[in-house]
Amino acid sequence: MASIKQFQVTFDCAEPERVARFWCEVLGYVVPSPPEGFATWDDFDRALPPERQGSAFACIDPSGVGPRLFFQRVPEGKAVKNRLHLDVRVGTGLVGEERLAALEAECARLVALGAVRGRLLLADGVNESCLPMQDIEGNEFCLD
């Protein structure tokens, strides 16, 4: 059996383009080129049936290493804690005050983009410090 090496991460959300552009800023991702035959994503979107317009958006890692992120509109709002979340690795290799400074700096940048800060979880001898947050639609993620 072949092993699969590529995957995309899919977010259910109310406003796909808005959430996708937030995550582009968080991760340094970019919006891919529109499909062949369309000059812009707006042109592509206008070609869809009205009920599908604005229903999806995506962003990609410009280096091609990270997974594609796909955002799809769903009718229901977020009701409970995510069972899966992203860890944004800003403190890799750092410990103590250096790690805390890196987490706090990135947190300040993301709060300015509309993210919500959670309670800092300090190192406990097993796990290093991390900072839970929420994106602009309340999806949990961690700075670690």
- Share of residues in the chain with pLDDT > 90 (%): 83
Straight-line distance from the first to the last Cα atom of the chain, in angstroms, rounded to the nearest whole number: 34
DSSP annotation of 76 reads S
The model carries a pTM of 0.88
pLDDT of residue 112: 97
Q: Kindly tell me if the per-residue pLDDT of 1 is higher than 80.
A: no
* Cβ neighbour number for residue 141 with a 10 Å cutoff: 20
User: For 36-70, what is each residue's pLDDT tens digit?
Assistant: 999 999 999 999 999 999 999 999 999 999 999 99
Q: Which residues, including other chains, have CB under 8 Å from residue 138's CB and lie 6 or more apart?
A: 78, 116
Q: Dump strand ranges (E) for 36-127.
A: 56-59, 68-73, 86-88, 116-117
Rounded Cα gap, residues 67 and 73, in angstroms: 19
Q: Is the model's pLDDT at 6 over the cut of 90?
A: no
